Homo-oligomer: A and B are copies of this chain.
């Protein structure tokens, strides 16, 4: 049995409530001057109170040394082992921009690129054209119907786009056209099995059409496609955990991921205050809430240590309202580390706290990376947090007799 199958076999519905608060990119690295990370620098009386009365530790979302993308980082927190639950690149990109992939749709990740007069790729990113230009070019290509297949072409950011093919009989078993090197031509669209010929034919015609439309838009005079894939069909949180779950997240990627595993997605803007208000309003209707805070990651990606500190402090003030709701279990953690010093996601384990009546508190009384090393949870894979949250909410029965 996999971990998820075990949990499914012992999960029970119950009226207790769990709140999972994810500060995106929470973990950090110490400022060389102070020796303190962003979280350790922030004034966090409410998080510290939860830590003091809860149990703390560190999680590896995917595994030690592995820097998670946003999708695997979150899947781990939802208890879906990200090494087994893998989304194709195209589908993930579509979900990331909030596109509602229907069953049967195939999505491909695209790049605008530059080709020379011989048709050889000279820049795989078309000079990183601005997002506005990308949007304009996508508009020129959007809405085609080829052999009865409808195409959606949507901008992502800079040179990145996503192409969705909607029609009957589409199988995404198609090779990438991105050659991943310069000085060669884009690869032709290749069906990797006869069942994919229909989609390959449509994709070929799309690329020809794009080439002729883009000819006058140098440096973005060609398009490369990769990661043809469909929306995965995974067991829902209700099927596995018997939960009625809701997501309170402002950004499309996280809303899309939450939908994939059957969460209701509630309307909110991306501020923590708005999210807490939405949580309160819907509190009686659900027994699991995923709250997502983006600002901490964005500040880390920008290398802005102080802004990340302020983001954490802002969340801390909102946490007092969360505590007042008295959920049975509160989990606070991140989907990965984003140290301002590294200006990007990193492999460092992420602090986590679980607060509940039944958590067997440890001696940690401050929520921070160093303090959490001594926590009662120890260091564990991120996918263990969800079973612990369910256990603390008394939603799991015995395994075996």
Contact = CB atoms under 8 A, between A and B. Distances in A.
Given A345-B398, A384-B65, A401-B93, A373 B376 contact: yes
Q: Which of A65, A82, A346, A391 has the most CB of B within 10 A?
A: A65
A342 B92 CA distance: 43
Interface string A331-355: 0000000000010011111000000
Contacts of A83: 1, 6
Number of this chain's copies in the complex: 2
Interface string A16-43: 0000000000000110000001000000
A66 B391 contact: yes
A181 interface: no
Interface in A369-401: 369-370, 373-380, 384, 386-392, 396-401
A378 B29 CA distance: 17
A401 B65 contact: no
A68 interface: yes
B71 A400 contact: yes
A363 B358 contact: no
Interface stretch (A56-64, A124-132, A191-199): A56-64
A355 to B, nearest CB: 15
A3 B63 contact: yes
A86 interface: yes
Contacts of A391: 65-67, 346-347
A379 B57 CA distance: 11
B68 A400 contact: yes
Interface of A: 1, 3, 6-7, 10, 29-30, 37, 58, 62-72, 82-83, 86-87, 89, 92-93, 96, 342, 345-349, 358, 360-363, 369-370, 373-380, 384, 386-392, 396-401
Given A30-B360, A58-B376, 13 more contacts: A6-B63, A10-B66, A10-B67, A29-B358, A64-B377, A67-B398, A68-B398, A69-B398, A69-B400, A349-B376, A362-B373, A370-B376, A378-B379
Nearest to A62: B399
Contact of A348 (B37, B82, B87, B360): B360
Contacts of A376: 58, 349, 370, 373
Contacts of A361: 30
Contacts of A82: 399-400
Contacts of A386: 65
Contact of A64 (B66, B369, B388): B388
Nearest to A89: B401
Contacts of A379: 377-380
A377 B349 CA distance: 9
Contacts of A347: 387-388, 391, 396
Nearest to A227: B401
A370 B55 CA distance: 11
Given A64-B387, A89-B401, A373 B373 contact: no
A82 B9 CA distance: 14
Contacts of A30: 360-361
B65 A387 contact: yes
Nearest to A348: B360
Contacts of A89: 401
Given A370-B363, A373-B376, A65 B398 contact: no
A49 B114 CA distance: 52
Contacts of A345: 398
Contacts of A10: 66-67
Nearest to A253: B401
A397 to B, nearest CB: 7
